[in-house]
Amino acid sequence: MTDTPTNPFEAMMRQAQEMSEAWVKAINPALSGVSPGSMDKLWPTVPAEMLEAFLGRQFNPEGLEAKTRLLLTLLGLTIQGAVAEAQIRLTVRHAVAAGATKQEVAETIGLAALFGGVPAMTKAMELATEALEAEGKA
């Protein structure tokens, strides 16, 4: 008999986990307690002025403003199946900082259900609610 797991993906996932733990210990041991799902907490919310400068009409005065670009990003992240949890929470925070209302965030996620399905919409809505509650805007 061998020690090889019956599921080859199990071994691959275990090896990837061990490698990432070793990498974190070697690079920055302080991050060893940080889970991937909470990585968005490491990034501050960017002020509206900076969002507009980098994502808005700075280089294209006729183009989309930062708020619209961030809502479109949220739509895409939701359609992907809402698997990018940290990115969704971060995008919601930035969209609100850029001037989006709670209603606009909810409508954007609701629209994504047409393309990504109701489970993706439900998960994204939960993540958006978490992000808004953490900012005191729920």
**Residue 15: per-residue pLDDT:** 84
Tell me, yes or no, whether 73 and 8 share the same domain. Answer: no
Please name the residue ranges forming H helices in 57-101.
66-79, 85-97
Tell me, yes or no, whether 17 and 42 share the same domain. Answer: no
Which residue bears the tokens 């071994």? 11
Tell me, yes or no, whether 48 and 20 share the same domain. Answer: no
Per-residue pLDDT of the chain (138 residues), as tens digits, is 566 556 777 878 788 778 877 877 777 776 666 666 566 666 667 777 777 777 777 777 888 888 999 999 999 999 998 788 889 999 999 999 999 999 999 999 999 999 999 999 999 999 999 999 987 766
Instruction: Please name the amino acid found at residue 84.
Output: A
Query: What's the structural domain count of the chain?
Result: 2
Angle between helices 85-97 and 102-116 (to 10 degrees): 140
Tell me, yes or no, whether 119 and 129 share the same domain. Answer: yes
Please work out, in degrees rounded to the nearest 5, the angle formed at the alpha carbon of residue 77 by the alpha carbons of 75 and 81.
Answer: 110
Q: Is the pTM of this model over 0.75?
A: no
